Every structure is written in C-alpha cells, then in structure tokens.
Structure 1
Amino acid sequence: MFVLAHLSDPHLGPIPEARISELLGKRFFGMMNWIGARRRNFGQATLAALLTDLLAQPTDHIAVTGDLVNVSLPAEFDTGATFLASLGTPDKVTVIPGNHDTYVHSALSYHLEHWAPFLSGDETHPGTPLDRESFPFVRRRGPVAIVGVSTAVPTAYFLASGEVGGAQLERLRGILHELKKEGLFRVVMIHHPPVGERHYHRDLRDAEAFRRVISEAGAELVLHGHDHRASLGRISSNGELIPVVGVPSASAGPEDGRGAGRYNLYRISGEPGAWACIMESRGYAPGDATVQLRDTRQIIGLP
C-alpha cells in the first residue's frame, strides 16, 4: 500500500515587512485582505497542530497544491521553502504553485527559483533553471506517478483565476498516455478546481479543455486546492469516474466559514485495472480545536 498525503493553501503568515514600492498595485489590496480577514482566520498555531498530526502519520509522500504565500513578496518564498523542508526532503514532498504564488508579474519566477527541488520532475537535472515549460512534471514513486500541473498566472486586480494553457495541456495528454502504458497509478496535482461552478474571477479559464484531456487520456486521481473547501467531484473517462478532491486551507481555524483546516490521506493499493483508494480526512471540525480523524471513505474500487 502507498500512502499519499494532501494539503493545500497554507497562506503562510505573517506577511513580511516590505518597501512602499513593493506594495503598490495588486499587492496593496492583498495586504488589505490579509489585515482585514486572513490573519484572523489563518493561524500559525492552527497550522502547527495540523502538521504535527500529519507528520505523526506513516506516509510515503506529501502533495501540496499551492498558495503557500499571500502577496508574493520575495521573503515569503524563503518562508515557503522552510515550510516545505519541514514536511520532508524534496524526494518525499511535491508542490505546485497557486495563484497567490504568482500574485504579480514581477514575482512570476520566485517559486521556480526557491522551491525547485520540490517541483521539478525526476528527469530534471539539479540546478537546471525551471520555467512554465517545465510543467507538467512527473515524479514516479513506487506504483504511483505524481503529475504536477501549473495553473499559476499573474492576473489583474481582484482576479484569482488560473489557466493551464494549450501547450501544457498537450504535454499533459502525452504524459498521461505514457504513464498508463507503464501501469502506474496517476495522480494529477492542480491548484484551481477543474470541476464545479464558481465565479469567473476565481475559475480555471480552460477547465473544460483540462477535463477533455483527463477524459481522453485518463488518470486515477486529481487533487486540487484554491476553494478552501472539502470537495469530491468526478470526471468521466472511458466508463470510469475519476475522483477530483479538494481540501480546505491547512491554516484555517475551527471557526472558518469555508471549512476548518484539514488534510487528506489516500491509501492506494491494487494494480492496473483493479486499483483501490481509501481517502481519510484528518483535521478540525467546526468549533473543535483538536485535530482528529473526521471521515474515511473508499473513492476508488468497491468497498
């Protein structure tokens, strides 16, 4: 059995001090959002307790689906790198960027520079500069192939949307076909949810195109963040229904309206054509300040 952990959207705080020139434009509104709401709802103590519980669980790998930072100040990416290292070594931890990790155009490469060991594929030589063409990347871990997709693109004021892009989608299609031939359990990591309805300012612009690729090429599991809510959707593929799973922010407190902080464990077993996956959710319940097992369900295979 292979055990994969999934957490998302920690929005690590506090926001570091910055020059006035760094806070002009979109970052100013992000700072106001942090001061007005996020710093009350997203706490270091909340995250620390959740991570203590996570690190006490036997896992083979940890997947982090983006939004480690808040307004993409340079110092935030050092904090993000420290956070990732606290979860484990780069061979045991995989991250993809979220929209807050590319909040402004000037920060477009920061996550690629600071988190490279955690978001590069197995075939990427250490020290090789990464860019958007580096996605999707693939990490093979036992029976599991982890495929990292980037939807992180800078957007205008008050927008938090994302996009995979045509070139990345075509690469993803080829990668998924190849991994199927290898008989691996394919886990696709993407920040923006590819299923469900949401306002245009927060959506995945090419969600329909992404779903077509997954439907045609197949996958076993799709993991995402962004909504700060627990969710379970499906994408139909060749007579199968592929689970699409979202988790709340890992830093969200028990009183957060969109969902108290949680992470998921996926217990993967079986073989090609007969995979099974049990999803276990651990974290806070509304009004409950203790981290506990909250839900267990089989999402792939028959009970």
Structure 2
Amino acid sequence: MFKLAHLSDPHLGPLPDPKLIQLFSKRILGYLNWRRNRSGSMTGNCLEQLVEDMKAQAPDHIAVTGDLVNIALPLEIIGARNWLEDVGDPHDVSVIPGNHDAYVPGALRRARTAWLPYMSGDDADASPPLPDSDAVFPYVRKRGNLAIVGVSTARASGPWFATGRVGIKQTRRLRAILEELGEEGLFRVVLIHHPPFHNATHWHKRLSDASRVRAVIKRAGAELILHGHTHIVSRSSIDGPDGPVPVVGVPSASNAPGGKKPGARYNLFSISLENGRWHCQMEERGFTVTGEPVSSIVTDSIEIPAKPDLLPPAEGQSLRAPST
C-alpha cells in the first residue's frame, strides 16, 4: 500500500509589501485582488492545520500542484521555499509550478531556482535550471511501484488571463516518458496545474493546448492525473488506451470554509496492486464548517484502467510483476 497526499494552490500569505516598481506590471491586478478578496478568505491558519493533519496521516509522498505564491514577488518565492521545507524533505515532496508562480516574465525561472530540489527528477543534479523553462519538465520520480511525472503548464500571461500551456517539446517528452513507464508496469501519476479535460474552467483560465495533452494520454496512458487551479472539488476523466483515466482536482489548501469556494482540503490516495489490478482509495480531508477542525469528508474508490499485461494470468501463465 502506497499513500499519496495531494494538495494545491496554497497561495501563501500574507503578501509582502511590494516596491512600487514591482507593481508596474500585471502584479497590480493581483495585488488588488489579494487586498480586496484573497487576504480575507485564504488564511495561513487553515493551511497550517491542514498540513498538520496531513502529516498525521503519514503519507509516503506529498504532491503539490502549483500556485504556491500570489504575484511571484521575490520574497514570496523565498517564503515558499521555507514553507516547502516545513512540509517535508525534497525526496518526499514533489512540486510543479502554477500560473501564479509564473505571474510575470522571469518569475518562473526564479521559482525553479529556489524550489529545484522539490521539482526535479531522480536523475537530476543540483545545477541551476537551464534557460529553457521546459528543459526540466516533465520530471520523473519513482517511489516503489509509483512513478510521479511532473508537468509544467506555468506561463506568464497577460492581464486578466490565467492560461497555461504545456508546449510541443514537453508534450513529446511526456509521451515518451509515459510509454516507457507503462512498459515497466508502474502506476503513473501525472501532476499538472491546469486541468486537461474538456470545459474544465473559463476560457481565460484554460489550458490552451489541453487537446495535445489528451492526445498523449489517449496514446500512452496513465493511471491517475492530479491537478489544481480551479479551487474546487473536481472529478473527471479523459480517454486512455485501456479505458478512462481519472482526473482529480482539489480545492485551495488555504481557503477558509463558508465562502464561494470549498474550504481547504487535501486528498489522500491509498494505492495497491492486487491480483494484477491497481486499486486506489481516495479520502478527502479538510474543512467544511467554520470553527471546526480538519475532518474526513468523503471516502471513495477511484476506478483505474486495467492494463492487459497486469490482468490475472491465464492458467499456466505467470503474472508480470511491476518494477520496484
């Protein structure tokens, strides 16, 4: 049994006081949004309690699917690194960036430099990230029978836009990686900030090349896709070669209950291989009522596509065991 925790969009606060010159960009809109809206609904207290509860569940690994910061000020990026160190060791925590982490040109490079140990593959060294933002993605981390594949959709976008894009080069690498991991018989978990399914969000917040991602999954397959971005409970699927691939999103990890969006939550996935079939049990944990502690909200089974070579063998045949 492997326990994977997933949280997203902590939008760490409070926001540092920006210099005036730092607001001569799209940041002015995000700054005003924080002051008028998010500073009241996204609280560090909720996030702190959520992380404490998550640690108490003793997950084997933690996935954070982007938007650690708000307007990507340098002090925010440093603060996010400190927060990640409190969440866990880089070996046990996998991170991908979101659109807020790439809020203005140059922000994503600074975030990648600061958070590199948390969003690089097992075969990466500690050298500074390459100038090409796509060069380190997708990254791969193998933990037991799981393969965690981190994809970046983070792009600096114009005012009033929160779109994401994977890009052609990264998409090609993603397909090759998923095919190779599939041949190894691993449970492939794809981490992506923007949801890749149809009509996932408003047009100005969409994944602009979602159809390209769906084509890769349909050809190469995956067992589970985890996303953030929408700040709501999200359960969907996209076509895979062996059946529908589940796509699961989670609300913001810092949102207080009682507002327009659900209270802060994280999802806990218990994954096992039994009789040649992958089994995945998901538990939602978080806040539902103001003033109440973190609690279990929903427990449900996630249907995982059955790969033909992992099905129980016919009489006289042996079962192919996944790599560890």
Q: Do the two structures share a fold, i.e. TM-score over 0.5? A: yes
SS at match of 1:183: coil
Distance in 1 of aligned mates of 2:123 and 2:168: 23
Q: Are 1:101 and 2:101 matched, yes or no?
A: yes
Letter in 2 for 1:245: V
Per-residue CA distance 1:22-59 (angstroms, 9 max, x = gap): 11120011000000100011001111111111111121
The one of 233, 237, 247 aligned to 1:234: 237
- The 10-residue stretch of structure 1 (182-191 or 13-22) with the greater mean CA deviation from structure 2: 13-22
Task: Please give the residue correspondences for 1:159-238 in structure 2 after superposition, counting only pairs within 5 Å.
Answer: 159-197=161-199, 198-238=201-241
Distance in 1 of aligned mates of 2:279 and 2:243: 13
CA contact (8 A) 1:184 1:272 kept: no
- For 2:16, the equivalent position in structure 1 comes to 16
SS at match of 2:293: strand
SS at match of 2:212: helix
Give the CA deviation at 1:287: 4.0
Give the CA deviation at 1:179: 0.2
Distance in 1 of aligned mates of 2:304 and 2:101: 35
Letter in 2 for 1:69: V
Distance in 1 of aligned mates of 2:189 and 2:285: 20
Give the CA deviation at 1:133: 1.2
Per-residue CA distance 1:232-281 (angstroms, 9 max, x = gap): 10112124111100000000001131211100000000069510100010
Give the CA deviation at 1:301: 5.2
- For 2:39, the equivalent position in structure 1 comes to 39
Distance in 1 of aligned mates of 2:166 and 2:304: 29
Distance in 1 of aligned mates of 2:169 and 2:304: 33
Q: Measured at CA, do residues 155 and 272 of structure 1 come closer, stay the same or move farther in structure 2, by a change above 3 Å?
A: farther
Give the CA deviation at 1:288: 5.5
Structure 2 unaligned spans of 5+ = 306-324
Give the CA deviation at 1:191: 0.2
CA contact (8 A) 1:282 1:295 kept: yes
Tell me the matched-pair count: 302
Distance in 2 of aligned mates of 1:272 and 1:26: 53
Give the CA deviation at 1:196: 3.8
- For 2:251, the equivalent position in structure 1 comes to 248
SS at match of 2:111: helix
- For 1:262, the equivalent position in structure 2 comes to 265
Report which of the two structures shows the higher radius of gyration computed on alpha carbons: 2
Structure 1 unaligned spans of 5+ = none
Letter in 1 for 2:98: G
CA contact (8 A) 1:228 1:248 kept: yes
Distance in 1 of aligned mates of 2:187 and 2:125: 24
Letter in 2 for 1:201: H
Distance in 2 of aligned mates of 1:21 and 1:271: 58
SS at match of 1:108: helix
Distance in 1 of aligned mates of 2:233 and 2:198: 13
TM-score (norm 2): 0.90
How well do the aligned residues superpose, as a CA RMSD in angstroms? 1.4
CA contact (8 A) 1:183 1:272 kept: no
Distance in 2 of aligned mates of 1:174 and 1:49: 39
Give the CA deviation at 1:289: 2.8
Give the CA deviation at 1:115: 0.1
Per-residue CA distance 1:131-184 (angstroms, 9 max, x = gap): 421100000000100000000000000100000011110100000000011111
Distance in 2 of aligned mates of 1:268 and 1:108: 32
Distance in 2 of aligned mates of 1:288 and 1:260: 11
Moved over 3 A (4+): none
- For 1:56, the equivalent position in structure 2 comes to 56
Between the aligned residues of both structures, percent identity stands at: 49
Distance in 2 of aligned mates of 1:161 and 1:39: 23
- For 1:278, the equivalent position in structure 2 comes to 281
Distance in 2 of aligned mates of 1:271 and 1:217: 23
Distance in 2 of aligned mates of 1:256 and 1:164: 32
Task: Please give the residue correspondences for 1:58-207 in structure 2 after superposition, counting only pairs within 5 Å.
Answer: 58-130=58-130, 131-197=133-199, 198-207=201-210
